[in-house]
Every structure is written in C-alpha cells, then in structure tokens.
Amino acid sequence: MSRRTTTSRARAPRRLATLGALAALTTVGALVSAPAAQAGPMPAGDKHKPAICKRVPTVDTRLTKAIERLGGDATVKGSIAHLQARIAEADKLNRPAVKTYLNDKLTTRQRLLPELKQRKADLANVKTWCDTQPSAAGK
C-alpha cells in the first residue's frame, strides 16, 4: 500500500501540470475567439452612447433645480434671499454668532450661483457634442 501512495504522489505534479496547461489552452482559445463574436454591428440607440451622454439629462435637471432654488425669493428655503432674511432676523435678535455663521453660508451660496450657471452652459456644450457622437462601438 505504501508503494501505491508513493506512485500516486509522484503522479500528482504531472496531473496538476496537465490540468494547468489544459486550463491555459482553454483560456487562450476563449480569448482568441471573443473578438470575432463582437465583430457585428452594434444596434443604434442611447444604450451604446458614451456614459457622459447618458447622464446629461439628469445633471441638467439637477442644475436647473439648484439654480432656481438659489435664485428664489425669501419664501424659498435654500435661496440666497431666504438666507439674507435669516441674517436680518439674527441681526435684529442680536445674535452675532448666528449672523456670522449665516454670512459665511451666504458667501458660499453667492459664489456657487455663477459656478452653477457656468456648469449649465458647459453642459449644453456637452449635450451638443453628445448629439454628434455615433453609438460607441464595442462598449
């Protein structure tokens, strides 16, 4: 019995090497034949456009909502006018710490509005570019 296990142990590296070579050949065969399977024409449609083009409508909606919110009147929460009204209220109630905090937020929002408008203009250019792009073949 010990002789038999010795023989089996001696064959194990050969079996392992054979299985490894077989796996490598199978993988190479699959890789070589894969491009031929994808060589057909891609169907037209939005599904195969570049990823940035798929996100344009969503980003446009988000930018529009943010610009409208920031530009709203004092009744619109999140607007610059609403924040200015809160600053006036904090000043009237003699709360300097709150006023300073809200002034910092106001400065940030006032800087944000032109940046969002610029992004919206840039997004219009991206949309124009996307409209000229053919479907992305192979993606």
Q: pLDDT per residue over 49-65, tens digit each?
A: 788 898 999 999 999 99
The residues, any chain, with a CB within 8 Å of residue 116's CB and separated by 6 or more, are 63, 66, 67, 70
- What type of residue sits at position 14? R
**Alpha-carbon span 60 to 30, nearest angstrom:** 42
Say whether pLDDT at 44 is over 60: no
**Alpha-carbon span 59 to 125, nearest angstrom:** 13
Examine residue 115 and state whether it is found in any structural domain, yes or no: yes
Examine residue 82 and state whether it is found in any structural domain, yes or no: yes
Which residues form the domain of 65?
Answer: 57-132
- Count structural domains, the chain: 1
For 92-116, what is the mean pLDDT?
A: 96
Print burial letters for 77-108: b (CB count within 10 Å at least 16), e (below 16).
Answer: eebbebbbebbeebeeeeeeeebeebeeeeee
Examine residue 50 and state whether it is found in any structural domain, yes or no: no
Cα distance from N-terminal residue to C-terminal residue, the chain: 59
Instruction: Assign residue 60 a region (left: φ > 0; alpha: ψ between -120 and 50; beta: otherwise).
Output: alpha
Q: Report the pLDDT value the prediction gives residue 134, as an integer from 0 to 100.
A: 77
Higher pLDDT, 123 or 51: 123
